[in-house]
């Protein structure tokens, strides 16, 4: 199978698709972000656990193509151990770049992963606002 071209997917995309990291849901999450793309039908959920402003645990669930799975896996790897402010700066392009690129028609998948992370952080901040 290694000699078969993967239709424009990089080795990193294929690795994160075939062996996704951080799959599932965080038990008793501090924040949850859910996003979807009605055009392609992809759905993604990211849940986070936060201690002292740092993402200590992060998991994802997704319904979508291989790119959606790979980008969700990568965004969890990028965000784990980062402060909320650092994780919030992870962009759609950062996710694609860390995967060594995505085919242009699959870039919307990296948008979902970053957006789901940002929504989880937003959810956490709403829940912990004082006043």
E strands along 1-131, which residues? 31-36, 43-51, 54-63
* Helix or strand (DSSP H, E) at 120: helix 107-128
Write down the residue that tokens 């919030």 correspond to.
Answer: 88
**How far apart are the C-alpha atoms of 116 and 112, rounded to whole Å?**
6
* Catalytic residue (one of 14, 23, 32, 40): 40
Q: Is 65 a catalytic residue?
A: no
Strands ordered across the beta sheet of 31-36 = 31-36, 43-51, 54-63
Closest by CA to 63, choosing from 49, 43, 33, is: 43
As annotated, the active-site residues are 40, 109
């Amino acid at each position: 199978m290694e000699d078969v071209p993967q239709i424009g997917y990089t080795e990193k995309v294929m690795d994160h698709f075939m062996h996704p990291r951080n799959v599932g849901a965080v038990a008793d999450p501090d924040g949850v972000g859910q996003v979807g793309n009605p055009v392609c039908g992809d759905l993604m959920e990211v849940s986070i656990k936060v201690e002292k402003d740092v993402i200590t645990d992060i998991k994802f669930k997704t319904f979508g193509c291989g790119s959606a799975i790979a980008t969700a896996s990568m965004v969890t790897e990028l965000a784990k151990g980062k402060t909320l402010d650092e994780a919030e700066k992870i962009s759609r392009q950062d996710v694609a770049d860390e995967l060594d690129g995505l085919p242009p028609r699959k870039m919307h998948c990296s948008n979902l992963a970053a957006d789901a992370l940002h929504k989880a952080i937003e959810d956490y901040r709403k829940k912990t606002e004082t006043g």
